[in-house]
Structure 1
Amino acid sequence: MYKCRDCGATSYQSVIGRAQNGALLATGQYRCTGCRNVFSSIREWWQPKRMPETYSHSTFG
């Protein structure tokens, strides 16, 4: 089941903006219905955040 990677909500809405001529249009972004965060794609909404790469050194110097 797909859910928000930040809050676990199971739904999102398309973000609607107003064009210069006054028309309401989808912006191509998505807003989580739980935490209200805005995502640039549906995949970004559900896909877990990548952890930064860490490097371990066995010796110093």
Structure 2
Amino acid sequence: MFANNVGGADKILRIVLGTLLLIGAIMGYGIWMWIGVIPLVTGLFGTCPLYSILGFSTCSMKK
């Protein structure tokens, strides 16, 4: 489907941010915080559909 295009630091940041937003949503800080599902899923799978559309990647180049 989509190639991996989310690199190490980007992946960690997405997972942490997504988790924090979901915790906030569960604690009742706002329904908008459920948007954290998107960075969490893209971080866990290592692929971002928007990056694919834009032709962008944060993965290191393989030699």
Bigger helix share = 2
Specify which structure has the bigger relative contact order, considering alpha-carbon pairs within 8 angstroms and separated by 6 or more residues: 2
Q: TM-score with structure 2 length normalisation?
A: 0.28
Bigger strand share = 1
Structure whose CA Rg is larger? 1
